[in-house]
């Protein structure tokens, strides 16, 4: 945390486009903005680094009333007055909190705390309010209680205070040295605040005042002219005003923290960048859009928020998120202005008239810009332009490496149509063969049948990655709904035994959402189809701030997406610092529990998630039906991606009129098996009669839509209901046991099913048993106690039922909805050694080289093996004296050479590792090799052939 700095003079910088895509061209026929004042040069007081003085989380204090509660240090007390009490709040995971009901109850904090805090301090807390916006109450106040209800010139008797006011519709933060007549600060309107939790931070740094809500700056006042020491006292109340005629506050507070010191730094510069920005200018065509990004410096600026404006909205409009859209031909200037300091950057925009050529060119630019090269995954070679809807076809110069558009493609009768129409499927060179030569992709677009535009890009296809057997498991979970619990923790097994999980990074979270809602929940992890990396997708949700109801109406339309090669070092797929990726539509109230599975027909990933839908983008009227008592309900949607950056428009996947959430998929044989939670409190149709439980369906078409849960559905074209109430509660996950896990079956068919029943529960089964499951022959008929947590079964190969293995059942101790994934030894080692202070990475594994000599044939064969039994690439060098020969390893890790007759004695055999550095070199020697006999007849034959050559038969370097 840092202190205020003087605001420097405005610095305006406009950056150019950060990514340049090589192309060639050929033509053929909510809340209110923060209130700010005095934002010129800001004179500041140097503050100390914030140091925690006191904190109260009220854990274990449920029911306490009319008594003093010591803070975490034991130095300061918070005293409950006149019936104020500590209560549990179900919308805060039953966490205890200070509860005030507005009928004379309040709490008082020791005066000494804010004396010790001084003129620069930070106050953090979570709060909810039940109070109307009457303007006649204080939620928190500290200062001198003059018991004066009117402005006065008698400073000795005036109320002097720092005050925070929290109503259903507004927040107020002010400081005053003379009652309300000199209040410095402001009041702002907020939405979604009625009886909903939010996180607040009040920062006082000398004469500067800032108020944050859910990490967003909502109130700022520079140069108030009043310091805390000017107030003359530090009487502190929660829920009580200094004005005797005022009401007592009706609300609650939790997780109160007071720090000495402040963390505020002013913006000094802003820069504009984005796709299409070239030489400090942007050119668009009518109806075309591009997203601009404003980068505010310094990095620790108190607010990096900007407001966007256009000098002429009839030419170019700009949205609050920086998306600029061409309206009509002309010129305009787009301006980004920091909400603090008014620092500006300007970008000239030229809008060209829409015509077929421009529309098609814009679609091609966007399609090519979306390609991640060199290619290690199938490429999103879209058949329809994402900006203007132009028809696009792709032609590959090498179909063996990258496929072209299938000109004869026909849309499917069930399930999703291929958005790429067969294009973009890559065939990577074998591991050890190196990356491919460049492949030229030629894209041709036509807008509404108009003039065609062609552009090209060269793409290199990366060789396949090194693969090693899985020898352990990793899990990513979150902890709780409480403040600080909505982050990603990583656990891994101690060995190749699923029930030996231990939380890593010294028990601390590995990944925190640094953007959007600030929460990470319901994480899902899958290994990429090509095996190079792991993808993590998570719900952008922080229940501890907004509660449950608001998050289903005004919830995020984003998912938080990361990638890693080792399960510990994560980066965002769309670039760090960019936040989540919007994949849902504006009329969706939430985007919960995203998961993904590979679709063999689409050659792409299908990402699915739960949403409550609304009739329009204002999200005021939910989609309802009479099946659920004319109330809103959750349905499951899906989008398609090949890179976890670019997603298709979401489509309906499961809409039966009943609430469904938390789907997970596993393919066994020719069927996809889908586990989904019935979110209804009771029946969900004629067949699913048990509420809040997990049912099982199957289909041969992953994206087939579901409008009814029925055993009679044809699984060749839709989803057939197999069993209801297979698992308890929510968050189902599945994982196949590693081949050498001692709990796996001899035929390598063992599976673990998991569900989050407020902590993960594990159930063992096999693929064969799941495949046998039908509505008339359910798992719970064959194994009546399969999901009975009171009757666990022994963990052994072929077991069917609930498993408990020691603490937490052998599962991660961060117990909430997450994902489980198989990992090789190299990744398992990283999970065990990695800490935030010392982030380790995958290390090279050792290798062993052995050699066998056949004296009869004079063949010397080297066999290289890796310690983790993984694949190998590289070469072996054989050498003796002046002779040497290097031979490439084959797919089995072998290299063979025939020794010349002149070679004798000791031959050195050395494996050199490979260019990726994933396997260490190794060597050996072969002794006692005798010199071979020279075949004189063969030698004379070769000499004669050489002598017969004419000069023209020799090459230049012979």
C-alpha radius of gyration, the chain, whole number: 33
Question: φ, ψ for residue 941 (rounded to 5)?
Answer: -65, -40
Q: Is the pLDDT at 2 greater than 60, yes or no?
A: no
Q: Is the pLDDT at 906 greater than 60, yes or no?
A: yes
Q: Among positive and negative, which fits the CA dihedral 775, 781, 782, 786?
A: positive
Q: 823: cis peptide before it, omega within 30°?
A: no
Question: CB under 8 Å to 108, separation ≥6 — which residues?
Answer: 78, 79, 81, 235, 236, 237, 238, 240
pLDDT for the residue 18 = 31
* Count of beta carbons in the 10 Å neighbourhood of residue 789: 14
CA dihedral 536, 537, 539, 542 (to 10 degrees): 30
Question: CB under 8 Å to 628, separation ≥6 — which residues?
Answer: 657, 658, 659, 680
Residue for token pair 């009928």: 103
Q: How confident is the model at residue 937 (pLDDT cuts 50, 70, 90)?
A: confident
pLDDT for the residue 827 = 99
pLDDT for the residue 164 = 98
How many angstroms separate the CA atoms of 487 and 480, rounded?
9
How many angstroms separate the CA atoms of 595 and 524, rounded?
6
Question: φ, ψ for residue 544 (rounded to 5)?
Answer: -65, -15
Residues 573 and 377: beta-carbon distance below 8 Å: no
Question: CB under 8 Å to 485, separation ≥6 — which residues?
Answer: 93, 478, 479, 544, 816
Q: Which of 139, 153, 144 is nearest to 198 (CA)?
A: 139
Least confidently predicted of 351-355, 442-446, 658-662? 351-355
Q: Is the pLDDT at 794 greater than 60, yes or no?
A: yes
Q: How confident is the model at residue 935 (pLDDT cuts 50, 70, 90)?
A: low
- The DSSP secondary-structure symbol of 547 reads H
Mean pLDDT of 28-36: 35
Residue for token pair 């069993």: 723
Per residue in 460-475, pLDDT tens?
999 999 999 999 999 9
The pair of structure tokens assigned to 222 is 């520079």
Per residue in 90-143, pLDDT tens?
888 788 999 999 999 999 999 999 999 999 999 999 999 999 999 999 999 999
What percent of the chain shows pLDDT beyond 90?
80
Residues 488 and 510: beta-carbon distance below 8 Å: yes
Domain spans in the chain, listed from the N-terminal domain onward: 53-117+130-149+157-197+228-255, 267-354, 470-833, 847-936
Per residue in 388-436, pLDDT tens?
999 999 999 999 999 999 999 999 999 999 999 999 999 999 999 999 9
* Residue-by-residue DSSP string for 93-116: TTEEEEEEESSS-EEEE-HHHHHH
Least confidently predicted of 634-638, 678-682, 939-943? 939-943
Q: How far is CA 184 from CA 38, 379, 924, in A?
A: 11, 56, 80
In CATH terms, the fold of domain 267-354 is Immunoglobulin-like (2.60.40)
Per-residue b or e along 658-696, where b marks 16 or more CB atoms closer than 10 Å to that residue's CB: bbbbbbbbbbbeebbbbbbbbbbeeebbebbebbbbbbb
How many angstroms separate the CA atoms of 322 and 335, rounded?
10
Question: CB under 8 Å to 294, separation ≥6 — which residues?
Answer: 270, 271, 272, 306, 308, 322, 336, 345
Per residue in 847-893, pLDDT tens?
999 999 999 999 999 999 999 999 999 999 999 999 999 999 999 99
Strand partners, 622: 614
Q: Which of 278, 409, 402, 435 is nearest to 873 (CA)?
A: 435
How many angstroms separate the CA atoms of 141 and 495, rounded?
55
Pairing of strands 521-527, 534-539: antiparallel
pLDDT for the residue 39 = 27
Per residue in 646-657, pLDDT tens?
999 999 999 999
Q: Which of 401, 403, 419 is nearest to 411 (CA)?
A: 419
Residues 49 and 205: beta-carbon distance below 8 Å: no
Q: Which of 535, 522, 518 is nearest to 477 (CA)?
A: 522
Q: Which of 494, 489, 506, 511 is nearest to 807 (CA)?
A: 494
Residues 564 and 534: beta-carbon distance below 8 Å: yes
Same fold flag, 470-833 and 847-936: no
How many angstroms separate the CA atoms of 515 and 559, rounded?
11
Per residue in 212-262, pLDDT tens?
999 889 999 989 999 999 999 999 999 999 999 999 999 999 999 999 999
- The DSSP secondary-structure symbol of 65 reads B
The pair of structure tokens assigned to 166 is 């929290």
pLDDT for the residue 940 = 78
How many angstroms separate the CA atoms of 479 and 583, rounded?
26
Q: Top-level CATH class of 847-936? A: mainly beta
Least confidently predicted of 271-285, 314-328, 363-377, 528-542? 271-285
What is the rounded average pLDDT for all residues in the chain?
A: 91
Residues 211 and 218: beta-carbon distance below 8 Å: yes
Q: What angle do CA 89, 94, 96 make, to 5 degrees?
A: 70
Q: Is the pLDDT at 42 greater than 60, yes or no?
A: no
Per residue in 251-305, pLDDT tens?
999 999 999 999 888 899 999 999 889 888 999 989 888 999 999 999 888 888 8
- The DSSP secondary-structure symbol of 627 reads G
Per residue in 141-163, pLDDT tens?
999 998 766 655 566 678 999 99
Q: Is the pLDDT at 37 greater than 50, yes or no?
A: no
Q: How confident is the model at residue 629 (pLDDT cuts 50, 70, 90)?
A: confident
Q: Rounded to two decimals, what is the model's pTM? A: 0.76
Q: How confident is the model at residue 947 (pLDDT cuts 50, 70, 90)?
A: confident
Q: Which CATH architecture has domain 470-833?
A: 5 Propeller (2.115)
Q: Is the pLDDT at 30 greater than 60, yes or no?
A: no
In 758-857, where does DSSP find H-type helix? 767-772, 779-782, 825-833
The pair of structure tokens assigned to 681 is 């409190």
Strand partners, 426: 402
- The DSSP secondary-structure symbol of 560 reads E
Q: How confident is the model at residue 200 (pLDDT cuts 50, 70, 90)?
A: very high
Least confidently predicted of 8-17, 537-546, 603-612, 695-704? 8-17
């Amino acid at each position: 945390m840092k202190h205020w700095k003087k605001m420097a003079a405005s610095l305006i910088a406009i950056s150019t486009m950060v990514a340049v895509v090589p192309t060639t061209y050929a033509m053929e026929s909510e809340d209110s903005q923060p209130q700010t004042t005095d934002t010129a040069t800001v004179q500041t007081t140097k503050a100390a680094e914030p140091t925690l003085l006191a904190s109260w989380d009220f854990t274990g204090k449920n029911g306490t009333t009319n008594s003093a509660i010591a803070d975490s240090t034991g130095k300061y007390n918070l005293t409950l007055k006149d019936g104020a009490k500590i209560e549990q709040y179900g919308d805060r995971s039953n966490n205890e909190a200070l509860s005030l009901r507005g009928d004379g109850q309040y709490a008082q904090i020791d005066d000494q705390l804010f004396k010790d805090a001084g003129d620069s301090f930070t106050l953090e807390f979570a709060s909810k309010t039940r109070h109307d916006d009457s303007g006649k109450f204080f939620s928190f106040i500290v200062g001198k209680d003059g018991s004066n209800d009117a402005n006065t010139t008698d400073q000795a008797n005036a109320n002097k205070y720092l005050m925070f006011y929290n109503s259903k519709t507004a927040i107020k933060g002010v400081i005053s040295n003379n009652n309300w007549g000199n209040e410095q600060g402001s009041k702002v309107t907020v939405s979604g605040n009625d009886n909903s939790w939010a996180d607040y931070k009040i920062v006082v740094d000398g004469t500067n005042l800032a108020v944050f809500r859910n990490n967003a700056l909502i109130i700022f006042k520079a140069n108030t002219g009043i310091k805390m020491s000017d107030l003359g006292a530090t009487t502190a109340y929660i829920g009580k005003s200094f004005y005797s005629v005022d009401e007592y506050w009706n609300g609650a507070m939790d997780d109160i923290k007071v720090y000495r010191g402040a963390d505020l730094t002013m913006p000094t510069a802003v820069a504009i960048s984005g796709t299409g920005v070239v030489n400090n200018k942007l050119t668009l065509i009518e109806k075309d859009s591009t997203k601009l990004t404003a980068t505010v410096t310094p990095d620790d600026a108190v607010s990096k928020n900007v407001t966007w404006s256009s000098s002429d909205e009839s030419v170019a409009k700009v949205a609050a998120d920086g998306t600029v859209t061409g309206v009509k031909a002309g010129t305009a200037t787009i301006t980004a202005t920091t909400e603090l300091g008014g620092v500006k950057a300007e970008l000239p925009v030229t809008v060209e008239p829409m015509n077929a050529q421009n529309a098609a060119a814009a679609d091609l630019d966007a399609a090519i810009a979306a390609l991640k090269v060199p290619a290690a995954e199938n490429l999103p070679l879209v058949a329809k332009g994402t900006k203007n809807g132009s028809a696009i076809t792709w032609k590959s110069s090498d179909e063996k490496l990258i496929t072209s558009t299938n000109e004869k493609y026909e849309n499917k009768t069930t399930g999703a149509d291929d958005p790429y129409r067969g294009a973009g499927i890559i065939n990577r060179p074998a591991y050890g063969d190196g990356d491919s030569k460049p492949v030229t992709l030629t894209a041709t677009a036509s807008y509404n049948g108009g003039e065609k535009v062609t552009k090209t890009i060269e793409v290199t296809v990366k060789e396949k990655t090194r693969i090693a057997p899985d020898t352990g498991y990793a899990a990513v979970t979150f902890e709780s709904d409480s403040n600080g619990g909505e982050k990603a923790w990583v656990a891994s097994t101690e060995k190749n035994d699923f029930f030996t999980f231990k939380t890593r990074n010294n028990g601390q979270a590995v990944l925190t959402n640094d953007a959007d809602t600030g929460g990470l929940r319901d994480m899902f992890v899958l290994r990429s189809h090509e095996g190079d990396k792991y993808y993590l997708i998570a719900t952008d949700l922080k229940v501890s701030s907004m509660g449950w109801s608001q998050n289903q109406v005004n919830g995020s339309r984003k998912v938080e997406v990361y990638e890693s090669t080792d399960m510990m070092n994560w980066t965002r797929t769309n670039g760090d610092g960019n936040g989540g990726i919007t994949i849902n539509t504006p009329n969706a109230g939430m985007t919960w529990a995203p998961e993904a599975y590979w679709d063999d027909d689409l050659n792409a990933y299908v990402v699915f998630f739960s949403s409550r839908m609304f009739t329009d983008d204002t999200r005021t009227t939910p989609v309802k039906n009479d099946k659920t008592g004319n109330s809103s309900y959750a349905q499951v949607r899906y989008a398609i991606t090949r890179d976890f950056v670019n997603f298709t428009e979401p489509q309906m996947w499961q809409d039966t009129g009943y609430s469904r959430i938390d789907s997970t998929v596993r393919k066994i044989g020719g069927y996809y098996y889908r586990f989904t939670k019935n979110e209804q409190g009771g029946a969900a149709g004629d067949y699913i009669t048990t509420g809040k439980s997990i049912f099982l369906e199957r289909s041969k078409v992953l994206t087939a839509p579901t409008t009814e849960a029925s055993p009679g559905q044809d699984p060749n074209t839709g989803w057939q209901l197999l069993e209801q109430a297979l698992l308890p509660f929510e968050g189902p996950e599945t994982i196949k046991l590693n081949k050498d896990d001692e709990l796996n079956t001899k035929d390598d068919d063992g599976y673990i099913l998991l569900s989050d029943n407020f902590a993960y529960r594990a159930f063992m089964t096999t693929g064969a048993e799941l495949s046998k499951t039908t509505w008339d022959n359910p798992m719970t008929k064959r194994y009546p106690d399969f999901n009975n947590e009171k009757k666990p079964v022994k963990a052994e190969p072929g077991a069917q039922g609930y498993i408990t293995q020691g603490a937490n059942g052998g599962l991660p101790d961060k117990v909430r909805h997450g994902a489980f994934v198989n990992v090789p030894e190299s990744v398992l080692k990283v999970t065990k050694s990695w800490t935030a202070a010392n982030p380790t990475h995958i290390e090279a594994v050792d290798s062993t080289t052995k050699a066998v000599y056949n004296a009869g044939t004079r063949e010397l064969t080297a066999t290289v093996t890796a310690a983790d039994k993984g694949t190998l690439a590289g070469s072996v060098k054989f050498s003796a004296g002046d002779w040497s020969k290097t031979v490439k390893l084959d797919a089995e890790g072998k290299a063979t050479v025939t020794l010349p007759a002149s070679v004798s004695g000791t031959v050195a055999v050395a494996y050199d590792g490979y260019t990726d550095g994933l396997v260490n070199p190794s060597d050996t020697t072969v002794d006692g090799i005798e010199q071979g006999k020279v075949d004189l007849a063969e030698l004379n034959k070769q000499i004669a052939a050489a002598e017969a050559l004419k000069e023209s038969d020799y090459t230049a370097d012979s």
